Amino acid sequence: MTVKMMTRLVCVLFLALVTNSYAQSNAECLECHSDPELAKEPDSTGKTISLFVDEDLFGESIHGGFECIDCHSDIEDAIHEDDLQKVNCGDCHDDAVEAIAASVHGEFANGQSPDLPGCARCHGTHNILPKDDPNSLVSRMNQPNTCGQCHANPEVIARNNFAIKSAVAMYEKSIHGELALSGSADAATCSDCHGGHNTLYPLDEKSSIYKLNISKTCGQCHESEKDEYLMSVHGTSLLEGAKDSPTCIDCHGEHDVLRPDNPDSRTSGFNVAVDVCSPCHASERMAAKYGLNAARVKTYKDSYHGLASRGGKAAVANCGSCHGVHNILPSSDPRSLINASNLASTCGTCHPNASENFTRGKIHLVEGENETVIMGYVEAFYISMIVVIIGFMIIHNGFDLAAKIRHIRAEKYHAK
Ligand code: HEC
Ligand code: HEC
Ligand code: HEC
Ligand code: HEC
Ligand code: HEC
Ligand code: HEC
Ligand code: HEC
Ligand code: HEC
Ligand code: HEC
Ligand code: HEC
Ligand code: HEC
């Protein structure tokens, strides 16, 4: 045994002796508190509070090697007062305390709502586990339940008037929720998008869910989509201040994200035109504000592709097939899929051997605007043909009717 080791041993023994002289060991506390029956006297409301501490659960917890009095630091002898101080986790985790205080869950957010969570509501007390342990209350799989104590509780939701009433229920049905609840370690859970402690309101510029920060938040896991999006007309115009331009959640939703191949998804081929692009590109207000044409959706719906899609044909082109979805650019941009020089290959993905002539036909045929002179003549010809044919039919039928009436009258006359 070296001298160094001996001095260390002496130190430890001495410390143990000193501490024990004025503080109780866990075993001593548990002499009383391992009794499942031990409970506090009923309070004025008649509620009894159990004082039982499960030794095994505590032993397995991350603080299992701690003395009870590390947390219950105001207890000094066996006969303790019943108005003990609340445990202050901040004695050792001051960074967590600071982050919570500055978050939506900080007590300053709206005065001192009794609904706001303290550390124990999200982590437990004697059963705290590391966040990576699947049984931890804040594990990826358990967060929906833990946050759901309040965010899926109708009374708490009504009292606090949350902007989104059913975040948890929607999340559980989403692709992220489905995967996270079945044990995926990669799919987004509440804290990936909101932070565990530094949760902020969506209108706060520092928030992970502030409109301009959302592409970065989703981009933690969807990097290639983020990169494409950031160079698109929507990504660049949003960062330049066009607040109406879409970010990821305008097209995908936030809690109800579904796979594009799910027919219920707003991003599925059949739904893109109406559910994704239409709210903005069929809006007169937005068209006026950004110099767009509000008829793009209508003209698509009336096109052969739109009609075939409404008829149930899945292989047909939707807005995204020609424009892209994350890489949308104006036709004037040479990188744009609808730039004249790229149309042969864009249409060519479905129309092999599409010639330049083929791609020249207008997709968005706007009445009176895009029509060529010839098309105007064709239309005029058809309209006059219709007038003439219907006119002839009316005259013909008129003569026919008159003849019949005359005939009936003649028969009646003869019958008399
Ligand atoms: C001799 C039995 C006994 C021992 C030993 C004992 N306790 Fe207690 N403890 C009690 C009783 C009884 C109460 C309930 C007092 C009351 O009715 O409010 C209590 C209450 C408590 C409370 C709850 C106080 C409150 O107001 O919510 C805590 C925390 C606590 N004990 C921790 C400890 C710790 C830590 C130790 C060891 C350092 C310890 N106790 C040792 C009997 C004991
Ligand atoms: C990691 C810190 C921590 C340690 C270590 C700890 N406790 Fe606690 N304990 C808490 C918290 C938090 C509460 C909830 C009340 C509060 O905030 O003060 C609590 C509450 C209690 C209560 C009141 C009943 C209840 O469950 O709310 C008792 C009794 C108690 N502890 C006993 C013990 C005993 C005995 C030990 C040691 C075996 C121990 N505690 C170790 C954090 C701790
Ligand atoms: C609204 C629920 C919530 C509250 C309140 C909360 N936490 Fe957390 N905490 C979490 C979540 C969720 C995680 C996991 C975050 C992650 O996966 O990055 C976490 C992680 C942690 C971690 C481990 C990771 C780290 O950041 O070091 C510690 C330690 C922690 N919390 C302590 C505390 C303390 C102390 C308090 C009280 C001041 C507290 N927490 C309050 C939800 C909460
Ligand atoms: C006496 C100091 C002390 C107190 C008081 C204390 N902790 Fe800890 N806590 C630690 C230490 C040390 C660790 C283990 C080191 C680590 O892995 O971060 C830890 C670990 C944790 C972890 C797991 C971190 C992870 O990796 O996921 C959580 C969660 C946690 N504590 C929450 C709490 C909460 C909540 C309270 C109050 C009820 C509390 N702690 C009170 C010292 C303390
Ligand atoms: C004990 C109840 C409780 C728990 C648990 C809880 N919250 Fe909250 N949360 C609240 C309350 C109350 C507010 C409203 C604060 C305010 O605006 O005054 C809030 C606000 C929010 C907001 C802003 C809501 C809005 O309408 O602007 C978000 C986002 C949020 N919480 C996310 C979470 C996440 C994520 C978790 C889990 C890691 C969680 N919360 C756990 C009670 C809770
Ligand atoms: C994939 C990312 C993502 C996940 C996962 C997620 N959220 Fe959200 N959440 C958001 C975004 C983005 C918003 C902001 C929507 C907006 O701007 O209106 C939001 C809004 C909220 C709001 C309302 C805030 C407000 O003021 O409008 C609450 C409450 C909330 N989330 C709770 C949760 C809870 C609880 C979970 C876990 C079950 C969760 N969220 C999972 C991205 C996410
Ligand atoms: C923590 C990582 C993470 C974050 C953050 C995240 N996701 Fe995901 N997301 C995933 C994983 C993992 C999948 C499943 C991928 C797979 O199985 O193909 C997924 C799937 C998707 C899908 C379906 C993909 C497909 O190929 O069918 C879409 C759409 C999606 N996420 C959009 C979003 C949006 C929008 C946000 C931000 C609001 C977001 N995600 C945030 C991890 C994340
Ligand atoms: C203008 C609307 C729009 C925006 C903005 C948008 N998406 Fe998409 N996204 C779509 C559509 C539509 C699809 C389906 C494409 C398909 O059918 O393959 C899609 C598909 C996806 C997929 C599935 C894989 C793939 O590429 O087909 C992921 C993951 C995804 N988006 C993530 C994101 C993320 C992350 C953001 C923000 C950085 C984002 N999206 C922004 C409309 C959009
Ligand atoms: C949340 C609203 C919103 C959604 C959803 C949206 N857009 Fe846009 N889009 C805009 C705005 C605003 C602009 C104009 C940006 C600017 O020029 O500042 C724009 C610009 C465009 C442009 C360039 C127009 C031009 O003349 O330069 C194209 C092409 C386009 N969007 C196609 C689409 C398609 C296809 C979809 C559906 C997959 C879609 N957008 C979804 C708001 C939206
Ligand atoms: C079959 C391919 C195709 C489909 C499907 C399609 N477009 Fe287009 N779109 C084009 C072409 C080619 C242009 C450029 C020529 C023009 O202005 O007609 C264009 C032009 C646009 C423009 C103006 C862009 C610019 O820079 O001039 C917008 C905005 C637009 N489309 C939106 C939509 C929306 C929204 C949908 C779905 C409702 C849609 N498109 C469906 C091919 C398509
Ligand atoms: C995603 C695949 C897809 C893309 C991309 C696409 N189309 Fe089509 N298109 C179809 C399908 C499928 C039909 C057949 C619809 C039907 O059954 O009526 C069709 C029909 C047509 C027709 C009607 C005559 C015919 O050949 O049946 C024309 C013209 C046409 N497309 C032009 C275009 C042009 C121009 C582009 C590029 C700007 C384009 N399409 C891009 C799938 C596509």
- Report residue 395 CA to chain centroid gap: 64
List all residues 6 or more positions away from 409 whose beta carbon is below 8 Å from its beta carbon: none
Q: What is the pLDDT of residues 178-215, one digit of tens each?
A: 999 998 999 999 999 999 999 999 999 999 999 999 99
> Which pLDDT score, from 0 to 100, does residue 387 have?
74
Q: Give 1's pLDDT tier (boundaries 50, 70, 90).
A: very low
- As a whole number of angstroms, the distance between CA 340 and CA 332 comes to 8
Question: Is residue 82 in contact with ligand 1, taking CB distance under 6 Å?
Answer: yes
**What number does the ligand 2 atom closest to the CA of 49 have?**
24
Residue 207: left if φ>0, alpha if ψ -120 to 50, beta else—which one? beta
Structure-block tokens of residue 97:
């305390």
Mean pLDDT of 294-304: 93
37-76 residue pLDDT tens:
999 888 788 888 899 999 999 999 999 999 999 999 888 7
Q: What is the pLDDT of residue 390?
A: 76
323 lines ligand 2 (CB under 6 A): no
Burial of residue 245 (CB within 10 Å: 0-12, 13-18, 19+) is buried
Supply 82's token pair.
Answer: 């019943």
- Which atom of ligand 10 has the smallest separation from the CA of 333? 26
Amino acid at 194: H
Residues linked to residue 50 through DSSP beta bridges, in sequence order = 39
**Model confidence pLDDT, tens digit, residues 227-284:** 999 999 999 999 999 999 999 999 999 999 999 999 999 999 999 999 999 999 999 9
Query: Hey, what amino acid is at 284?
Result: E
The residue whose two tokens read 């109708």 is 154
CA-CA distance, 44 to 46, in Å (whole number)?
5
Identify the CA nearest to 77 among candidates 39, 25, 37.
Answer: 25
Q: What is the pLDDT of residue 18?
A: 45
6-22 confidence digits (pLDDT tens) = 544 444 344 444 444 44
Q: Residue 161: pLDDT above 80?
A: yes
Residue-range domain boundaries for the chain: 23-87, 115-209, 372-408
What number is the average pLDDT over the span 109-137? 88
Dihedral, 98, 100, 103, 104 alpha carbons, nearest 10: -150
Q: 88-121, pLDDT tens digit by residue?
A: 999 999 999 999 999 999 865 555 678 899 999 9
Cβ pair 316, 308 in contact under 8 A: yes
Taking residues 310-317, what's their average pLDDT?
87
Ligand 9: which of 214, 270, 277 to mutate, judged by most atoms within 8 Å of the beta carbon?
277
Of the ligands numbered here, which is closest to the C-alpha atom of 193? 6
pLDDT attached to residue 416: 55
Q: What pLDDT is recorded for position 21?
A: 43
Q: Which residues pair with 111 in a beta bridge?
A: 109
Mutate to test the pocket of ligand 2, among 25, 53, 58, 136 (most ligand atoms within 8 A of CB): 53
Rounded CA-CA distance 416/404 in Å is 19
Contact between residue 324 and residue 235 where contact means Cβ atoms under 8 Å apart: no
pLDDT of residue 87: 92
Residue 71: per-residue pLDDT? 94
Atom nearest to 168 CA in ligand 6: 38
Q: CA–CA separation, 349 vs 335, rounded Å? A: 17
Instruction: Give the confidence band of 4 by pLDDT, cuts at 50, 70, 90.
Output: very low
Looking at residue 84, the DSSP 8-state letter turns out to be P
Kindly give the distance from the C-alpha atom of residue 62 to the centroid of ligand 4, in angstroms, as a whole number: 7
pLDDT higher than threshold 70 for residue 77: no
SS3 state at 234: helix
Q: Tell me which residue has tokens 């004697």.
A: 126
| Token pair for 210 | 């502030």
Amino acid type, 309: S
pLDDT at 107: 67
Burial status of residue 225 (CB atoms within 10 A of its CB: 0-12, 13-18, 19 or more): middle
Residues 84/92, Cβ–Cβ less than 8 Å? no
Q: What is the pLDDT of residue 23?
A: 60
pLDDT digits (tens, 9 = 90+) for 332-387: 999 999 999 999 999 999 999 888 888 887 888 765 554 444 455 555 656 677 77
Ligand 8 in contact with 320 (CB < 6 A)? yes
Dump the DSSP string for 161-223.
T-SSTTHHHHHHHSHHHHHHHTT-SSS--HHHHH-SS----TTSTTSTTSGGGHHHHHHTT-H
Interatomic CA distance for residues 4 and 232, integer angstroms:
66
Q: Which two tokens stand for residue 121?
A: 């509501």
User: Does residue 149 carry a pLDDT above 90?
Assistant: yes
Of all atoms in ligand 4, which is nearest to the CA of residue 138?
29
Q: 71: Cβ below 6 Å to ligand 2?
A: yes
Ligand 6 is surrounded, with C-beta below 6 A, by: 143-144, 147, 151, 162-164, 167-168, 171, 176, 188-190, 192-194, 201-202, 209, 214, 249, 254-255
259: which 2 tokens? Answer: 């796979």
